[in-house]
Chain A
């Protein structure tokens, strides 16, 4: 620094660099606003549950089997994704491709299981308010999974085209952050809709 304080420091990186990139910060704000959206969905659930007359959830706590498998799959997907991302940090694009491929497959399995789960429910969106809440909340989550999968597919294509390496992979880190968020939201959905009725019934 000279007396005017003008920058005379070291050379600076140029362009989109990890946490120095505007996109990384942008994704943080996207996650903040999306997290708020799910917080309001959960608030609606608790508000209506607290005011409900009679049994809650109507017909007793939901069956856990598919939801537990769903949880394992999404959490595993976050780990495979992390493994792939670590690869590209060392310039290993092949490992990133494997990470993306396996995670996309796990996400697709989640969607299949979720559609089986939806079909097994004895109620629908329009049966009662519980059905409205359940299908809207899980529907919002499924929409986020689909968006996440589209992001991962785009990243897969771009990685295959050789766009990313050890020094340039901000798009990967940003997309992966979104995928982790989708997993965290599911844990919230699972805890509130599936686990809590067993822990705190009524």
Chain B
């Protein structure tokens, strides 16, 4: 290289020596005032909070839908809902919970926490972060657009053809779902890209790969999985839309198409996705549970490896959703065996959590209760999964309430319980205030009792032969009593969730002041103020061990991390880039400022999908033009970001 351009030795500073540092950084990183500032911010903490709030709103909407469904099913021969309304409600319940709550809520945690956990000042792509949020919001609205018209998606969340084909379902219901899912997939992909590059490039110096928190491993694994799996479902939905509207024949037997192709593509995506919506939640537990057990996680390395290997195996088990479709025995045996094998990494993690509790000195906070309950519910959900991995058992149980019980144990048990526990844990960091412990414990016990009362009997309903997706049943079937218990239990669970929300609301206003580290926790996010300043860290931390804030308490030889003294990096918005494995500094990264481009791009994309839905080709063409112009403006090489020959401020 003849001319390597401007080089700079990062200035080291000590926070206590220069009280002016924080004010200077605040001016550099601050978001502008007013509506424009609100719409253009790229602060990962702001975006993370929006993700959390919006996904909880979707959780409530999905919960209300479930409540109506349970009222309909609570007793035989109910007529609260027509079959058509029932189909739309159970479909939207599934779509909402799985796509609009379960992953986005974890993205919320990771967006808020990653740069704080990694000792960085923002995500690698701050504007993409804003883009993924805006797409999530608009795609959520898109998926709900036909709901008020009584034409919502009605084919179940996995939307099998030929039922979802135009011939049998000619309304706009399925088109909304197909286009909405392609649109939402872009948010997931953009978010995954951001997490992967953030992990690879923006960790604090010294935070080598074997020192990152397990939540980071979980979200990284989920992101790589999504990056490779989401195209399958986007393609499947696009093919379905083309079959319905453009006249292709992918799933049309009469013209040589294959309905089972839909199921393959859907589950090639669907099963990795299941792990994507639980692995980060398991990471929340692996990081937060040890804090309340007053000891490091038992088996950091096995748990990290279990996380990754679960996802790798997760790409090879999709056919266990298709055991009843008449595939050849050799395929069934292979996928059944693979599904059994995946129990091993799950068991590794379970034993690591149990050993952490067993050998620790647990503090029974509300958060701890949620995490401990998660371990129990994971085992129950894992066992019913293990049972359905067996082909003969699955043939008996498939499409019954047993499967409904299984998927609610894994999704509520492994996603909702850790998420609510995680909110209790990080609420003081996000808001500066502690949640009420007493109310927290009440909400836990009501949720736990209601959940098991409501969902365990679903196993029994399934064994009694009750199929999924029926809008009612006759009194002669004998399913009345068990369904009444399910309905009452699920309402009790809902009351528990409401208590939790009341606690959030009250604590926001009246919670006790938390201070930087109320739990005496070990990771970097607790070294900065609560709530964290806009620039996260006045100086870039240097990490010397897995538990930077516990080095005084652990035995000697744990290393000395530094959060007091470090690189200042104050020539505009900057953070440090480090090497992938060893986290040695190798570049000073210039970070973009606030921008309206992400919102504009998301709106243009939404307009394209609306145009496709309405067959308004003018809209599609105009919106595509707007999208291209926005992209060119967004990507225009900038001197401030060091992308051109002339680089600003050097």
B-contacting residues of A (Cβ < 8 Å)?
3-17, 20-22, 25-26, 29-30, 32-34, 36-37, 39-41, 43-44, 47-48, 51-53, 58, 90-91, 125-133, 136, 150, 154, 158, 162-168, 170-171
Is the CB–CB distance between B231 and A6 below 8 Å? no
- Check B166 for interface membership: any CB of A closer than 8 A: no
- Check B544 for interface membership: any CB of A closer than 8 A: yes
Residues in B neighbouring A21, C-beta threshold 8 A: 587
Q: Which of B197, B257, B565 contacts A22 (CB 8 A)?
A: B197
28 contacting pairs across A/B (C-beta < 8 A): A4-B561, A5-B206, A5-B561, A12-B7, A13-B6, A13-B588, A17-B5, A22-B577, A25-B197, A29-B227, A32-B228, A33-B189, A33-B227, A33-B228, A33-B230, A40-B235, A52-B256, A53-B256, A58-B256, A91-B2, A128-B255, A129-B258, A132-B242, A132-B248, A158-B636, A162-B645, A166-B2, A167-B3
Residues in A neighbouring B562, C-beta threshold 8 A: 4-6
Is the CB–CB distance between A129 and B9 below 8 Å? no
> CA separation between A35 and B10, bound complex, in Å?
39
* Known contacts A40-B265, A48-B261, A130-B256: A171-B248 contact under CB 8 Å: no
> CA separation between A32 and B585, bound complex, in Å?
26
- Check B616 for interface membership: any CB of A closer than 8 A: no
- Check B50 for interface membership: any CB of A closer than 8 A: no
Residues in B neighbouring A7, C-beta threshold 8 A: 10, 12, 205, 542, 567, 585
> CA separation between A96 and B201, bound complex, in Å?
29
Residues in A neighbouring B571, C-beta threshold 8 A: 14
- Check B511 for interface membership: any CB of A closer than 8 A: no
> CA separation between A165 and B1, bound complex, in Å?
12
Return A13 CB to nearest CB of chain B, in Å: 5
Is the CB–CB distance between B196 and A165 below 8 Å? no
Is the CB–CB distance between A129 and B585 below 8 Å? no
Is the CB–CB distance between B246 and A125 below 8 Å? yes
> CA separation between A41 and B250, bound complex, in Å?
11
Q: Which of B227, B265, B590 contacts A15 (CB 8 A)?
A: B590
Q: Which of A20, A130, A164 contacts B587 (CB 8 A)?
A: A20
Residues in A neighbouring B197, C-beta threshold 8 A: 22, 25-26, 29
The residue on B at minimum CB distance from A13 is: B587
Is the CB–CB distance between A168 and B4 below 8 Å? no
Residues in B neighbouring A44, C-beta threshold 8 A: 235, 239, 250, 261, 265
* Known contacts A36-B231, A52-B256: A5-B3 contact under CB 8 Å: no
Residues in A neighbouring B8, C-beta threshold 8 A: 11-12, 14
Interface string of B582-593 (1 = CB under 8 A from A): 000111111000
Q: Which 5 A-B pairs have the closest CB atoms?
A: A15-B642, A126-B247, A167-B5, A132-B248, A11-B7
The residue on B at minimum CB distance from A16 is: B643
The residue on A at minimum CB distance from B246 is: A125
> CA separation between A170 and B642, bound complex, in Å?
10
Residues in B neighbouring A13, C-beta threshold 8 A: 4-7, 586-588
